[in-house]
């Protein structure tokens, strides 16, 4: 075998596989409604695009510092202060090409072989993949429908052990849309007092895509700032998935290793993208507000429609742009349902099981598509429902 053993331990995001299957069907002339991939269907706001074009013309086309441009790190520090009421030094911010590299580099920087990492399941598949890749032990914590798609703090208490190195939290959550309340975060922070060596990666990439209430970061709670790494980025908030721009906000002793990993891999994040990132944070937020309002309308349409489909029940999530209907009453497995909806209904979605074993019995729809297309998808699913309805 030519490949190193560790490569066989890597998983992947199935959204990209399903997208490829759906594109193939489209190339064969089939009509497909795309509810699989997790990216806003909106254009990046004009002011951000203009800022990038100007930055290219002004020569922001060279290498920059591995940890990010100082001007952007300043803008991120003040954004975090505005939104989380936390003060950081700009050197605690490490800019990266997306939020995904934050999880990849952080797990490499913190976790030794044999350490345990607790992570949400169903959850973003890359957590488990990278935990396995570094030879650590993935310890899934169930995200429970009956807890409004949140983790149960009493489960966490059972899973924490002297070997636990890292706890991954994600709120608002992919794939379920659950949002951790301040009260729950306080319970988690309280419990972690008994485990002072456990670090937390708080994936807050959907923090601005919230429909009611206010986003809370565990980093802002008593004793947590020095043990929490905030993962955030531009992909979802500003519809900038293809730009590749994200960042980690780290305790002081962790940031230099993250910068070293950047230096050893991609060197730096594209300079003109970073300049546009300053405009995104400091310029007008009207387009973001409009996008979130539109997502809320779509959420209401898809939740109402899914609840009318025999065998489906769907909670109304408070954040992100996903719904995670329970399909257990249909008697069809998640994978078979996702395949049936794609190949027979022309609706691309993801099997809940592709987000971990606890996702079996569910499917995920991303409602980053127009109300018109969501309605077409709902009609198509309804037409197929005779196949499972008794
Ligand atoms: N975290 C979660 C929970 C996500 O769903 C995603 C993308 O889907 C990311 C992080 C990474 O986003 P990006 O690398 O595009 O910034």
pLDDT tens digit sequence for 45-77? 999 999 999 999 999 999 999 999 999 999 999
Q: Which atom of ligand 1 is nearest to the CA of 123?
A: 3
- The helix (H) or strand (E) run that includes residue 248 is strand 246-249
Nearest protein CA to atom 8 of ligand 1, as residue: 38
Q: How close is the Cα of 100 to the center of ligand 1, in Å?
A: 6
C-alpha atoms less than 13 angstroms from C-alpha of 140 in its C-beta half-sphere: 17
Q: Which atom of ligand 1 is nearest to the CA of 39?
A: 8
Question: How close is the Cα of 355 to the center of ligand 1, in Å?
Answer: 13
Give the integer Cα–Cα distance in Å for 302 and 33. 13
**Residue 142 resides in a domain:** yes
310 and 268 co-located in one domain: no
Using 70 as the pLDDT threshold, list the residues of the chain that sit under it: 390
The alpha carbon of 205 and the centre of ligand 1 are apart by a number of angstroms equal to: 6
Q: From the CA of 174, how far away is ligand 1's center (Å)?
A: 9
The pocket around ligand 1, CB under 6 angstroms, is made up of 38, 98-100, 124, 170, 174, 203, 205, 233, 235, 241, 246
Q: What is the tally of structural domains in the chain?
A: 2
The pLDDT of residue 390: 67
Residue 390 domain-assigned (yes or no):
no
In this structure, what token pair is assigned to residue 319? 């954040």
- 55 assigned to some structural domain: no
Domain assignment of residue 195, yes or no? yes
**Does the residue 317 lie in any domain?**
yes
Q: Give the distance (Å) from ligand 1 centre to CA of residue 247.
A: 11
In degrees to the nearest 10, what's the CA dihedral of 250, 255, 260, 263? Answer: 60
Mutate to test the pocket of ligand 1, among 236, 247, 319 (most ligand atoms within 8 A of CB): 236
Q: What is the CATH number of the domain that holds 358?
A: 3.90.1150.10
Structural domain containing residue 163:
62-282
Same domain, 125 and 71: yes
User: Does residue 78 share a domain with residue 34?
Assistant: no
- Kindly state whether residues 246 and 369 are assigned to the same domain: no
Residue 57: inside a domain: no
Rounded Cα distance between 176 and 327, Å, is 14
Point out the ligand 1 atom lying closest to the alpha carbon of residue 15: 8
Whichever domain contains 233, its CATH number is: 3.40.640.10
Instruction: Provide the pLDDT for residue 352.
Output: 97
> CB pairs under 8 A, 24+ apart, for 303-312?
305/374, 305/375, 305/378, 306/365, 306/378, 306/381, 308/378, 308/382, 309/378, 309/381, 309/382, 309/385, 310/385, 310/388, 310/389, 311/385, 311/388, 311/389, 312/381
* Rounded distance between C-alpha atoms, residue 368 and residue 291, angstroms: 10
40 and 188 belong to one structural domain? no
Q: Which of 257, 282, 307 is the last residue of a domain?
A: 282
Burial of 26 (0-12, 13-18, 19+ CB in 10 A): middle
Same domain membership, residue 22 and residue 151:
no
């Amino acid at each position: 075998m030519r490949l190193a053993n560790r490569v066989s331990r890597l998983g992947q995001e199935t959204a990209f596989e399903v997208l490829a299957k759906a594109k193939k069907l489209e190339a064969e002339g089939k009509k497909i409604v795309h509810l699989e991939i997790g990216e806003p269907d909106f254009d990046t706001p004009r002011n951000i695009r203009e800022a990038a074009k100007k930055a290219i013309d002004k020569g922001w086309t060279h290498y920059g510092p591995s940890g990010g441009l100082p001007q952007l790190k300043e803008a991120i520090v003040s954004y975090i202060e505005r939104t989380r009421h936390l003060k950081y030094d700009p050197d605690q911010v490490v800019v990266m090409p997306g939020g995904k590299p934050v999880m990849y580099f952080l797990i490499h920087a913190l976790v030794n072989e044999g350490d345990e990492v607790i992570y949400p399941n169903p959850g973003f598949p890359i957590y488990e993949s990278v935990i396995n890749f570094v030879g650590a032990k993935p310890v899934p914590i169930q995200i429970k429908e009956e807890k409004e798609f949140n983790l149960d703090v009493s489960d966490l208490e059972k899973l924490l052990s002297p070997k636990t190195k890292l706890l991954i939290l994600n709120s608002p959550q992919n794939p379920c849309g659950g949002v951790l309340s301040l009260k729950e975060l306080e319970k988690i922070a309280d419990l972690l007092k008994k485990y002072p060596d456990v670090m937390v990666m708080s994936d807050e990439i959907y923090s601005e895509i919230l429909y009611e209430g206010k986003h809370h970061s565990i980093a802002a709670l008593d004793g947590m700032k020095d043990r929490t790494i905030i993962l955030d980025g531009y992909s979802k908030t500003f519809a900038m998935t293809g730009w590749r721009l994200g960042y980690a906000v780290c305790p002081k002793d962790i940031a230099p290793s993250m910068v070293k990993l950047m230096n050893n891999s991609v060197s730096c994040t594209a300079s003109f993208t970073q300049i546009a990132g300053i405009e995104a944070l400091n310029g007008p937020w009207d387009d973001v507000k409009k996008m979130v309002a539109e997502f809320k309308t779509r959420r209401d349409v898809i939740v109402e429609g899914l609840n009318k489909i025999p065998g489906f029940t769907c909670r109304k999530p408070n954040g992100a742009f996903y719904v995670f209907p329970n399909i257990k009453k249909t008697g069809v497995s998640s994978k078979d349902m996702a395949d049936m909806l794609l190949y027979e209904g022309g609706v691309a979605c993801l099997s809940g099981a592709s987000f971990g074993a606890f996702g079996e019995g569910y499917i995920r729809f991303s409602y980053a598509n127009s109300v018109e297309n969501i309605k077409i998808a709902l009609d198509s699913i309804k037409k197929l429902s005779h196949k499972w309805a008794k």
